[in-house]
Amino acid sequence: MTASLRIENLSRHFGGVMVTNDVSLELFSGDRVALIGPNGAGKTTLVNLISGHLQPNGGSIVLEGRDITRMSAARRARLGLARTFQITRLFRSLTVGQNVALPILQRRGLSRRLLSRRTNERAVRRDCEALLDELNLAQFLDTPVRELAYGQQRLVDIAIGLALEPRVLLLDEPAAGVPHDEAPLILSAIARLRPDIAVMMIEHDMDLVFRFAKRVLVLAEGRLIFAGSPSKVAADPGVRRAYLGSYPHGRGEA
């Protein structure tokens, strides 16, 4: 079975600091992986490297058998790699519908149309409504995203990622900053992700990690120090050492 995403010996340094140090990992179709680690472990940097926001100093990234290490971020996204952001990044002056329509237009190859075609718009709208329905956002179709509550904005962020119909989805702390009463929305959205896509989620909330992940990866000082089942992670001496003295994990910022 070929991996959906294979990373080999990935490295990146800022000045003299190795932020990503010889990281290798594989994600398979249907994978649900949590990436955890203490503050400053380099989790977001790893996602930035994979998504093409940052260039690595060494190593390779292979998406479904294709080497994407030197490709632009846009190209990677077109090949089926989607990500969300730790701090919501939405198209703020646009409506919820438009935010979700954009990745759909791109995926359907309609994003270069200079004059709109109504039939295509209808198909896009259908896709859009189906996706928003799934996330309980249907009533916000024509609402500007900036008028939504933060938890709902996070959902739109995830919806944009899903609208690409990716093979690999990277979620950077999807529940960060979401008020407690809105967190279940995020949880159920994640629970309903299509079963065949590979998902890697950065998350601090261990509750969420245990509910979501079949595998846990632990990153500390840029190195991958643990890969295994969620039940074993807390007992691992290396992981305990990495967290010891940093901070008692729970909800927090990366």
- Residues in touch with another protein (CB under 8 A): 51-53, 72-75, 77-78, 82-83, 85, 89-95, 97-98, 101-103, 105-107, 110-116, 118, 121-122, 125, 141-142, 144, 160, 163-164
Q: Which residue has the tokens 């237009």?
A: 105
As measured in angstroms, the least distance from the Cβ of 152 to another protein is: 17
Report the alpha-carbon distance of residue 17 to residue 249 in Å, rounded: 24
* Residue whose CB is less far from another protein, 144 or 177: 144
As measured in angstroms, the least distance from the Cβ of 201 to another protein is: 16
- Looking at residue 62, its amino acid is V
* Residue whose CB is less far from another protein, 37 or 52: 52
As measured in angstroms, the least distance from the Cβ of 197 to another protein is: 16
As measured in angstroms, the least distance from the Cβ of 228 to another protein is: 30
* Residue whose CB is less far from another protein, 125 or 211: 125
Report the alpha-carbon distance of residue 254 to residue 238 in Å, rounded: 20
Report the alpha-carbon distance of residue 117 to residue 58 in Å, rounded: 45
Contacts of 19 (CB under 8 A, 6+ apart): 12, 13, 42, 45, 222
Q: What burial class does residue 196 get, using C-beta atoms within 10 Å of its C-beta: 0-12 exposed, 13-18 middle, 19+ buried?
A: exposed
- Looking at residue 131, its amino acid is L
Taking alpha carbons only, the member of 76, 110, 72, 105 closest to residue 91 is 105
As measured in angstroms, the least distance from the Cβ of 122 to another protein is: 7
* Residue whose CB is less far from another protein, 150 or 247: 150
* Residue whose CB is less far from another protein, 73 or 225: 73
